[in-house]
Amino acid sequence: MNISEKIRKLKQETDTIILAHYYVDGEVQKIADFVGDSFALAKTAANTTQKNILFAGVSFMGESAKLLNPTKHVYMADETAGCPMADMITAEQVKEVRRQNPNAAVVCYVNSSAEVKAESDVCVTSSNAVKVVKKMEQKQIYFIPDSHLAHFVAKQVPEKEFIYHSGYCPTHKSIERKYLLEAKEKYPNVPILAHPECAEDVLDLADFVGSTMEIIHYAKDNAAKEYIIATETGVFHQLEKENPDKKFYPVIPSQVCPDMKKVTLEKITYVLENMGTGRCPEVLLDEQVMERAKRPLKQMLQLAL
């Protein structure tokens, strides 16, 4: 039995669903029960009926799954896989800005800790942020932690006043405008599909801006045979699988998230073999934090409809 067959067998024996983000390795995406962007993963986690959820992604995704479906046992394939952007803001910082701007709505990108979510009014993902912000009754929006996504949303919702935080995704920040201009020269007239975590001067050059899932749908639904992709290279697995006749080019070879790449088939096997023994810790959150952090996530699920 090879490792993928072993994982499939263990999944059934342990009543586990494996949820994977598009940025993990293609080999891992292949054995997952569901692969999606952050919003689709949150919705799937909320409706999961299996006893255990094994997350092939980073820690905020596992925490969101636990918040949305608290009776399930949630495990991370690698518990050290985090998101540097999520670590760029603390609950204390949010409280301080709230004190100074009591009328602002705190809009929190899901790439954040449960403690930060607990201080927020609503969560968003890259696929629903514009929609959700438009529906907020407050005029002032304190958008945390991603400044790039915040500026992208602000441009499309000019009726709101934004307060920005300084967070960013190091992987998307590394896709600089000068590299994209080089790629454009190498592949003239090839459409550019970019993630809104990229800097504003990169998004200005893009033909389409969207979440990972939206980028994948765009490439499938459009006639062009080649695309320049400005997001993490994990999406190439799905892009190439769904479009064997099309070509996809990264802007730079290093547009890779090191934390997402910590997830391997071996680690998934280990977790499936050791669930419930204490050798692979579950995602567990403080009860009070949970109570407060699930509100903005549930609010997102309602407003994003």
Residues 232-291 that bind ligand SF4 (CB under 6 A): 232, 257, 259-260
Tokens of 201: 């001067």
Residue selected from 59, 212, 233, 255 as contacting ligand 13P according to rule CB under 6 A: 212
Residue selected from 14, 48, 59, 111 as contacting ligand SF4 according to rule CB under 6 A: 111
Cα 126 from chain centre: 8
Out of ligand SF4, ligand 13P, none, what residue 259 binds, judged by CB under 5 to 8 A for its kind, is ligand SF4
Q: Closer CB to ligand 13P, residue 106 or residue 110?
A: 110
Contact 84, 100 (CB under 8 A): no
Q: Closer CB to ligand 13P, residue 69 or residue 238?
A: 238
- Dihedral pair phi/psi, residue 17, rounded to 5°: -105, 135
Binding mask 116-155 for ligand SF4 (x = CB under 6 A): ----------------------------------------
Listed ranges 12-20, 24-32, 169-177, 211-219: which one lies at the site for ligand SF4 (CB under 6 A): 169-177
Q: Is 29 in the site for ligand 13P (CB under 6 A)?
A: no
Q: Is 58 in the site for ligand SF4 (CB under 6 A)?
A: yes
Pairwise CA distance, residues 232 & 265, whole Å: 20
Out of ligand SF4, ligand 13P, none, what residue 126 binds, judged by CB under 5 to 8 A for its kind, is ligand 13P
Q: Closer CB to ligand 13P, residue 22 or residue 55?
A: 22
Q: Is 198 in the site for ligand SF4 (CB under 6 A)?
A: no
Residue selected from 19, 20, 32, 37 as contacting ligand 13P according to rule CB under 6 A: 37
Q: Is 38 in the site for ligand 13P (CB under 6 A)?
A: yes
Q: Which stretches of the chain bind ligand 13P, using CB under 6 A?
A: 22, 37-39, 83, 111, 125-127, 169, 195, 197, 211-212
